[in-house]
Structure 1
Amino acid sequence: MSTVTAEQYDGWTEEQCADVEIVGGVVVARPSRSARHNRIARLVANALDDAGGADWNADCGFDLRLRDVPLDNRCPDVVVYRADTVEEMPARPEHVLLVVEVVSPGSETTDRLVKPDQYAKAGIPFYWRVEQAAGRVAVVHTCLLDEASRVYRAGEVFTGLVKAAVPFPVEVDLTDLP
């Protein structure tokens, strides 16, 4: 199995990069996302973008370069990053404050175990995981990085209505999703 380098990936077209992530230099297909998944990600991103003020941007689904060798290139559902780095893509962990993953069928293990471990080792201060199941209210698990161990510690858990104080005050209403 051949691996992809950062230089090779950076030369790919937008279409080639769509719906893939690179883990340890290996191309991994991202599971397809439902309309509900995409709506949750957009609602969370919009709320975080508004709450972040002039210093922080929040966007959905773009490349986050965790490591160049071997290449680890993830595409979180939502990324909160320093506004003054908007032109620096792919985003780098040192510019990122928070990543959010919306768990879907097919992404459970990756979003609950693999990605948080990678994000923590990269030094990203906050991680949120949104658990969503058809017919149920979304549950948001917030995690904070323990700098010494580079492991996330459980923070607050919100069901439906998120009223988080960190990384900055933000409110997201996920109670009335279809």
Structure 2
Amino acid sequence: MDDVATANGVDDEPFPEWLRPPYRGFTVDDLFRLTDLPSHTQLVDGALVFRARQSAYHSLANSLLVEGLRRTCPAHLRVRREMVVVLGPGQAPEPDVSVLRAEAVRGLEANRYDARDVVLAVETVAPDSAIRDRERKPQLYARAGIPHFWLVEEGTGRRPVVHVHRLDPGAGAYVLTGVHEGRLTLSAPFGIDIDLTAIDRV
């Protein structure tokens, strides 16, 4: 037989060489050079990170936040969903939602943004990325100087609970400023009022 089966009956496949990391890890250039990568592949600590399929909750929570942010977003800012943000040579995560300075948005061909242009990064916790969402990504965003960070957890009745953080520049870390259930009302980075219970009606 030409095909060799494993013990569980699945055919063996050779390890794709393009997945083997270089000695010092992958770089941002690699991330955009490798044409066979799945959609929404991220780069964290020089490693390629692949995203699992999204749940309906995850998708709806992000849509709710994007729509809510766009309702009151001022003219000098823009809201984007699932776009790579370059933080350094080996760091290019993809926040679920970002708010950017409008001058950084230069046409519909853009496939990445720089950390210096990001005002807010939002991560909605997913089972396959919970540690990265809660721990590593906030560290990276803070070190890159992104002023605002939201961590979205799944609350009672599968409604989003938004943990709002602001950057302490002296410490280079985020400080929790509030936990919002039911309604998200903020004055920074601009006036925001989002009914988090609206996810029940989508």
* TM-score using structure 2 length: 0.80
The alignment of Structure 1 onto Structure 2 pairs a total of residues equal to 175
**SS in structure 2 of the partner of residue 143 of structure 1:** strand
* Partner residue in 2 for 1:127: 149
| Structure-2 change in CA distance of 1:17 and 1:134 (3 Å) | farther
Residue of structure 2 aligned with 1:153, choices 175, 191, 198? 175
Question: Could you tell me whether the CA contact under 8 Å between 1:104 and 1:132 is conserved in 2?
Answer: no
Find the aligned partners of 1:66 and 1:5 in 2 and give their Cα distance.
11
Higher gyration radius (CA): 2
Consecutive unaligned residues in structure 2, runs of 5 or more: 1-20
Structure 1 segment 48-63 matched on structure 2, within 5 A:
48-63=69-84
Q: 2:102 aligns with which of 76, 83, 91?
A: 83
* Letter paired with 2:112: P
CA RMSD of aligned residues (A): 1.8
Within 5 A, what are the aligned runs for 1:46-125?
46-68=67-89, 71-87=90-106, 89-125=111-147
Secondary structure of 2:199's partner?
A: coil
Report SS of the residue matched to 1:135.
helix
Q: Greater strand share, 1 or 2?
A: 1
The answer as to whether partners of 2:168 and 2:175 remain within 8 angstroms in 1 is yes
Query: C-alpha separation between the residues in 2 aligned to 1:54 and 1:12?
Result: 35
Residue in 2 that maps onto 1:36: 57
Percent identity, please. Answer: 31
Q: Contact (CA 8 Å) 1:100, 1:129: kept in 2 or not?
A: yes
Q: 1:88-132 CA distances to partner (integer Å, 9 max, x unpaired)?
A: 641111100000111122222111111111100110000001111
Residue of 126, 146, 161 corresponding to 1:139: 161
Once residues 95 and 166 of structure 1 are traced to their aligned partners in structure 2, the CA distance between those partners, rounded to angstroms, is 16
Does the C-alpha gap of structure 1 residues 54 and 12 become closer, same or farther in structure 2, counting only changes over 3 Å? farther
SS of the residue 2:128 aligns to: coil
**Match of 1:19, SS?**
coil
1:135 to partner: Cα distance: 2.5
The letter for the 1-side match of 2:132 is T
**TM-score normalized with structure 1 length:** 0.90
- For residues 46 and 54 of structure 2, what CA distance do their matches in structure 1 show? 23
Q: Given the alignment of the two structures, is residue 23 of structure 1 paired with residue 40 of structure 2, yes or no?
A: no
Q: Distance in 1 between matches of 2:40 and 2:111?
A: 17
Higher mean C-alpha displacement, 78-87 vs 131-140: 131-140
Which one of the candidate residues 162, 171, 175 is aligned to 2:193? Answer: 171
Q: Distance in 2 between matches of 1:166 and 1:130?
A: 17
